[in-house]
Amino acid sequence: MESPVEIVQHTAGGAIGVSWLMIAFPLLGAAILLVLGRKTDRWGHLLGVAMSLASFVVAVLAFFELLGLSAEQRRQAVHLYEFIPGMADMGLLIDPLSISFALLITGVGSLIHIYSIGYMSHDPDRRRFFSYLNLFVAAMLLLVLADNYVGLFIGWEGVGLASYLLIGFWQFKPSAAVAAKKAFVVNRVGDFGLLVGMFIMWSATGTFAFAELSEKAGGLSQPMVTAIGLLLLLGACGKSAQLPLQSWLLDAMEGPTPVSALIHAATMVTAGVYLVVRSGAFFFPEGSPQALAVAIVGAATLLAGAIIGCAKDDIKKGLAGSTMSQIGYMMLGAGLGPAGYAFAIGHLITHGFFKADMFLGAGSVMHGMNDEVDMRKYGALRKYMPITFVTFIIGYLAIIGFPLLSGYFTKDGIIETAVEHNQVLGWLAVVGAGITGFYMSRMIFMTFFGEKRWAEDAHPHESPTVMTVPLIVLSIGSIFLGGYLILSNRLMLWLAPAVGRPEELPTFHFASTPGLATLALVAVGAAYAWMKYGRAEVPAVQPRGSFLTTFARRDLYGDALNESLFMRPGQWLTRIAVFFDNRGIDGVVNGLAAGIGGTSGRLRRIQTGFARTYALSILIGAALLTGALLLVGNI
């Protein structure tokens, strides 16, 4: 196995020297749009797109500059300033891994910015939407470019904030406000894991920087590394919607569709995969229990997401289930060590393309159907939205792993590596691929084929050019990118300086056993979907369905579980605390005051105002004193 190369300090100028501009551009855009407010309503969206594109240009320039360096020089650290003296310096790490992410974020992000011009054109708050999008891009870039965990954490929280703002963008809808809150709270659970992991990291090694950790992490004891790894995995689960912190992602579809495409499919939810791969060399050594935990979480989530996707009638929620499932594949790949990293990142990149393509396609369908999301009210749309149909089909073929399309290469790579490392997890991934074939075909048949089941006032039409062009660009990526990255191991060799690689480079088998089994299962799934939803009529009202269908419709009872396990006990706890506060603490305080008040109320009755009474009490007192002195004697 080859380890990652040393990180070198960048001294020359060039695009890498000014790579902080990547973050600065969108951050500036967000600041201008938010500070100037309504004054920028007319041109705000154009500024947002320009800032995102400027960031993309810097990323491309830095990418080419990095390509020009030799493999040993491809990890360039750019020092920016001293952030917390003695603890963390703010700096950027430009290496193949971070620049790949930066290209995906700014590239797909820019396309989604452009698409949003059309999608949000009727929204009075379009300028605010673009400011949040820019804020998100800036935070996500900080997350992937930072050269230490502190910077990563700031970006991590920044995307959490942007995600919260964008899910709740239509905050007048109670469901959107609730979904935003839920995403925020569930993400906090993950952030807790990341933070505690960082605390342990600091106390054990005294550094947050990737460059120093690669030297010091080797000296840590095994349980310490496992603890940090598992805590980082908890953080990754929160951000990437993996079991058991998956519940927020399906509700997050309340946000505008471009948000679902950008944040909840292409970029933000992949931050967990980034975290695992980036920390791989320090905290997830190959074959360690925490790496196995990553793979198990991935395998469990890819099945759970696929099962949920089978029963959803809301097109966006169906896609959200599939996102969960695909990120599960990436996690599975990331849990396999350097052999799986390239496939996990490859799947992440191709998934960024085809899932954004399909989400934006779904947005295009909704745009033409008066924001209807129920697939039972679609049908036969292929004739009315030809461009959306073709691009969606390409994304669909890519995600189910149709041979020679993007998803085929990257997903197959993960499955084959998984089967090599761990038979059980590998074959579970094969089964997941079969289910993917079913639910994605179901979506296609219900939306584009069959009879019209539209609402009466629906007049489907193709979306404007500003929306279809991003779809076309994304679908082209969905066709070719996977083959380009995986065949002849281009991505693995490119990423090797950053994440390491196995000694022996894998060769791509077109006819391996797991690969053929996957294809067969996908075909069976698609055929079953055609029988149920293509040939047979789709009922306009959701049928009751079997126990399993209800199980999937209710998100595998994830919400019910959270409610009974955490929410109800939490409510009981607060009720007990309130009771104790009211009766216990307030009772003591109030009781003391009332007791003193009552006693003094009685005591003051002694003050009668009759001088003779006082005289009597003085006499009695004097007599008692005298008597006491006599008793004591000796006066």
Residues that bind another protein (CB under 8 A): 604-605, 607-612, 615-616, 619
In Å, how far from its chain's centre is CA 463? 29
Q: Quick one: DSSP state of residue 457?
A: T
Q: Is 399 helix (H, G, I), strand (E, B) or coil?
A: helix
Q: Specify the residue for token string 């400011």.
A: 131
Q: Please, what is the minimum distance in Å from the beta carbon of residue 613 to another protein?
A: 9
Q: Please, what is the minimum distance in Å from the beta carbon of residue 606 to another protein?
A: 8
- Beta-carbon contacts of residue 45 (< 8 Å; ≥ 6 apart): 116, 117, 120, 126, 127, 130
- What token pair was written down for 415? 């499955």
Look at residues 555, 520, 128 and name the one whose alpha carbon lies nearest to residue 301: 555
Q: Please, what is the minimum distance in Å from the beta carbon of residue 624 to another protein?
A: 15
**Of 578 and 624, which has the nearer Cβ to another protein?**
624
Q: Please, what is the minimum distance in Å from the beta carbon of residue 588 to another protein?
A: 28
Q: How many whole angstroms separate alpha carbon 353 and alpha carbon 477?
A: 6
**Of 459 and 604, which has the nearer Cβ to another protein?**
604
**What is the sign of the dihedral through the CA atoms of 115, 120, 122 and 126?**
negative
Q: Please, what is the minimum distance in Å from the beta carbon of residue 583 to another protein?
A: 33
**Of 85 and 609, which has the nearer Cβ to another protein?**
609
Q: How many whole angstroms separate alpha carbon 205 and alpha carbon 223?
A: 14
Q: Helical H runs in 146-270?
A: 149-167, 174-205, 210-216, 222-240, 247-251, 257-261
Q: How many whole angstroms separate alpha carbon 292 and alpha carbon 276?
A: 12
**Of 42 and 604, which has the nearer Cβ to another protein?**
604
- Confirm if 51 and 25 have CB atoms less than 8 A apart: yes
Q: Please, what is the minimum distance in Å from the beta carbon of residue 601 to another protein?
A: 9
Rg of the chain taking only CA atoms, in angstroms? 31
**Of 122 and 605, which has the nearer Cβ to another protein?**
605
- Beta-carbon contacts of residue 242 (< 8 Å; ≥ 6 apart): 236, 272, 297, 298, 301, 324, 327, 328, 331
The secondary structure element, H or E, covering residue 76 is strand 76-84
Q: Please, what is the minimum distance in Å from the beta carbon of residue 600 to another protein?
A: 10
Q: Please, what is the minimum distance in Å from the beta carbon of residue 188 to another protein?
A: 59
**Of 565 and 618, which has the nearer Cβ to another protein?**
618
**Of 561 and 622, which has the nearer Cβ to another protein?**
622
- What token pair was written down for 235? 């953080």
Q: How many whole angstroms separate alpha carbon 435 and alpha carbon 441?
A: 10
Q: Please, what is the minimum distance in Å from the beta carbon of residue 612 to another protein?
A: 6
**Of 584 and 621, which has the nearer Cβ to another protein?**
621
Q: How many whole angstroms separate alpha carbon 364 and alpha carbon 361?
A: 5
Q: Please, what is the minimum distance in Å from the beta carbon of residue 608 to another protein?
A: 6
Q: How many whole angstroms separate alpha carbon 311 and alpha carbon 291?
A: 31
**Of 548 and 623, which has the nearer Cβ to another protein?**
623
Amino acid letter for position 586: D
**Of 511 and 611, which has the nearer Cβ to another protein?**
611
Q: What backbone torsions phi and psi does residue 94 show, to the nearest 5 degrees?
A: -100, 105
Q: Please, what is the minimum distance in Å from the beta carbon of residue 605 to another protein?
A: 6
- Confirm if 406 and 338 have CB atoms less than 8 A apart: no
**Of 203 and 600, which has the nearer Cβ to another protein?**
600
